[in-house]
Amino acid sequence: MLDTGNRLHEIIRKDEEGLLKDWIALQANTSGRRMTAVEEKQLQTNAGEFLAMMRQASQEGGYDISKPEWSGVRDFLTQLSAARARAGSTPVETAMFVFSLKEPLFNRLRRESKDAETLADESWKATLLLDRLGLLTMEAFQKSREEVIARQQQELLELSTPVVRLWDNILALPLIGTLDSARTQVVMQNLLEAIVQTRSDIAVIDITGVPTVDTLVAQHLLKTVAAARLMGADCIISGIRPQIAQTIIHLGVNLEDVTTKATLADAFAVALKRTGYGVFRLKNSGGNASQEA
């Protein structure tokens, strides 16, 4: 077994520079566009490093990439994939880093092999090895994409639940999109924190932007109202569209102790009144033009 493993590292060692040159040339072509000087330099560095590591790993660990001797190569590829994923490369471009090594490698194998059987055997082992390494890059690529998505989802969650101070003691929470349990946690946290900081007495939760209200969404809403109450703030739910009103009645959701209004404006008016404010016109045209909200 040591014999065949050594072939690969021998092949690489015999003409590492030439191999590197051919390999890089192929990669430059497959990307379909001209590389910038920076990209070229980066590629030279990466390819050179990778080839050297491969030579050493195949010398010490044969063709089995799961062996500890190959861990350096695996880590290198994983990091390279992640970096390329972040930079916006496609998974194919990243995998081609490995696959494009096949052609120059097999050319040299053919030159060095004594007979057809040895050539076939060596080629097969080499292609299996490179296939596994190529798949590794795709796996790593996938994983880092998933991490980006997860992080973006979290950011979106935080951004899409702002709490707005409408007036002294009055907060507004305009909900846009569906209210699932993960979102409800964020909503509750943001709302309660705002209540503490602004010492508000009333929070208007506007659900105009919530597309559907089913039993679960209603439960989440009620939870949020209950949590605000525990902090000493009353809630008014606004944005109750006719369809939502029907759904709520049909579902038998108990909204008895919660004030509801059709529009945010109505809710604001009620909130002002409750907190002891009135609204009046400045230029009164005779008499008491105080327009109580």
Partner 1 sequence: MEAQKSETHEIRTSQDVVSVRQAVRRLAVEMGFNLVDQTKIVTASSELARNTLDYGGGGSATIQSVRNGSRPGLRIIFEDEGPGIPDIALALKDGFTTGGGMGLGLGGAKRLSSEFEIDSEPGHGTRVTILRWKGL
Partner 2 sequence: MERIPILKMGQFLLVTIQVDMHDRLALTLQDDLTEQIVKSRAHGVLIDISALEMVDSFIGRMLSNIANMARLLDAQTVVVGMQPSVAITLVELGLPMKGIRTALDVEKGMQTLRMYLGMNDHGQDGDGSAEI
CA pair distance 235, 207, nearest whole angstrom: 13
Structure tokens at 6: 């050594």
Terminal Cα distance for the chain, rounded = 89
CB of 202 to partner 2, least distance (A): 8
Among 4, 118, 185, 247, binds partner 2 (CB under 8 A): 185
CB of 203 to partner 1, least distance (A): 19
Among 6, 46, 59, 185, binds partner 1 (CB under 8 A): 185
How many residues bind partner 2 (CB under 8 A)? The answer is 24
CA pair distance 94, 80, nearest whole angstrom: 8
CA pair distance 53, 70, nearest whole angstrom: 8
Among 8, 73, 130, 195, binds partner 2 (CB under 8 A): 195
> What number of CA atoms fall less than 13 Å from residue 108's CA on the CB side?
21
Q: How would you classify the pairing of strands 202-209 and 170-176?
A: parallel
Which residue number, 136 or 235, has a Cβ lying nearer to partner 2? 235
Which residue number, 45 or 79, has a Cβ lying nearer to partner 1? 79
CB of 80 to partner 1, least distance (A): 20
CB of 185 to partner 1, least distance (A): 7
Q: Is 282 in the site for partner 2 (CB under 8 A)?
A: no
CA pair distance 180, 167, nearest whole angstrom: 29
Q: Is 167 in the site for partner 2 (CB under 8 A)?
A: no
Find out whether 289 and 264 touch, Cβ atoms under 8 Å.
no
Among 177, 209, 232, 278, binds partner 2 (CB under 8 A): 232
* DSSP per residue, 183-231: HHHHHHHHHHHHHHHHT-SEEEEEEEE-----HHHHHHHHHHHHHHHHT
The label of the residue with tokens 């525990």 reads: 230
Residue of 48, 61, 46, 49 whose CA lies nearest to 9:
61
Q: Is 87 in the site for partner 1 (CB under 8 A)?
A: no
Q: Is 265 in the site for partner 1 (CB under 8 A)?
A: no
CA pair distance 269, 119, nearest whole angstrom: 86
Among 87, 150, 164, 249, binds partner 1 (CB under 8 A): 150
Q: Is 188 in the site for partner 2 (CB under 8 A)?
A: yes
CB of 219 to partner 1, least distance (A): 12
CB of 85 to partner 1, least distance (A): 18
Per-residue x/- mask for partner 2, residues 251 to 270, rule CB under 8 A? ------x-------------
Q: Is 135 in the site for partner 1 (CB under 8 A)?
A: no
- Residues contributing to the site for partner 2 (CB under 8 A): 169, 185, 188-189, 192-193, 195-196, 199, 201-202, 223, 226-227, 229-234, 257, 274-276
